[in-house]
Amino acid sequence: MQLTEAQCAQYERDGFLIFPELFSAQEVAILRDEVERVSQIESNCIIREETGGPAKTIFRMHEDDGETASGAVRAAARSSRALGAAQQLLGDDELYLHHCKVNVKAAIQGSAWPWHQDFGAWHLDGIAEPELTTMAVMLDEATEFNGCLYLLPGSHHEGRHQPYWDDSTAYSLWAVGPETMRNKIARYPDPIPVTGAPGTAAIFHCNNLHASGHNLSAHDRCQMYFCYNRVANHPKEVENPRPDYVRSQNWQPMTLEPEDAILRSTVIPA
Ligand code: SIN
Ligand code: MN
């Protein structure tokens, strides 16, 4: 996929682009089956609310090896629609994934992700420059009712804000404080909800402010995230680094796969 000049300018201005149904229903069905299969596996790459309970976040489905490896997710992460777009927006062909995750926000109970910048945490992982971008792929229909993602247009231009550790929801993270957020939301255009049919995707700058609400619907809300970093911007050593599944040390540049690679993928045996 080749982004147009207008799309690149829009990304520069807003910090994100939204692509309705970028992945087909058939591709989404394959990716969804893979999430279902892998979520049954015991692995420390899978975060669950309680032992034996449903998966809340699944990491590291994009690699060739490991318990959570998936041929279909590997192919999606290397498709020109995801990797190609990231290469173009970051102006570098040598990219790897800082991590890949699938967030399952459970029906009725799945809680909010507070306002944050991904680079808030990733800088603490030892990454020097905000030269990362994330492709989020909706594997279910995303609605405001089921806790879709909201992006604050243009918010990446003010750089990184000192984050604070917010453990007020089930998704503890390095968030941007309520005072700063009140001020920003007053000054910026309204946040944009990333809604749409399964297969819809959004690519956003690592300093873009984003959040998502509680899932009030009767169905789980599943979304997949590919967080691309420039190989040249890989993390420096830090004290007490986070585990490899969230702070990858596989800095090999990823190569593009053919566009039909998801459809042709096979299950990687555990
Ligand atoms: C994130 O911001 O990393 C995830 C938000 C979500 O899945 O709603
Ligand atoms: Mn985030």
Helix (H, G, I), strand (E, B) or coil at 245: coil
Model pLDDT, residue 238? 98
Q: Does some domain include residue 128?
A: yes
Residue 86 lies in a domain: yes
Please say whether the dihedral angle defined by the alpha carbons of residues 105, 106, 112 and 113, taken in this order, is positive or negative.
negative
Q: What is the DSSP string of 18-87?
A: EETT-S-HHHHHHHHHHHHHHHTS--TTEEESSTTS-EEEEE--SSSSSTT--HHHHHHHTSIIIIIHHH
Domain hosting 25: range is 5-233
**Residue 245 resides in a domain:** no
For residue 112, what is the domain's CATH number?
2.60.120.620
Q: Check residue 232 and give its pLDDT.
A: 98
What's the mean pLDDT in 118-130?
A: 98
* pLDDT beyond 80 at 149: yes
pLDDT for residue 269 is more than 80: no
| 59 Cβ below 6 A of ligand 1 | no
The mean predicted confidence, pLDDT, of the chain is 96
Instruction: Indicate if the pLDDT at residue 270 is higher than 90.
Output: no
Nearest atom, ligand 1, residue 148 CA:
8
Q: Residue 244: inside a domain, yes or no?
A: no
Is 262 among the domain residues? no
Is 42 inside any structural domain?
yes
Whether ligand 1 lies within 6 angstroms of the CB of 103 is answered as yes
| Domain total of the chain | 1
Contact 89, 8 (CB under 8 A): yes
The residue-averaged pLDDT of 178-202 equals 97
Write the pLDDT tens digit of every residue in 35-59. Answer: 999 999 999 999 998 888 999 999 9
Q: How confident is the model at residue 167 (pLDDT cuts 50, 70, 90)?
A: very high
Q: Is residue 9 part of a domain?
A: yes
Is the pLDDT at 215 greater than 80? The verdict is yes
Q: Is the pTM of this model over 0.75?
A: yes
Q: Decide if 148 contacts 193 (C-beta within 8 A).
A: yes
Dist. CA 154 → ligand 2 center (Å): 16
Residue 82 lies in a domain: yes
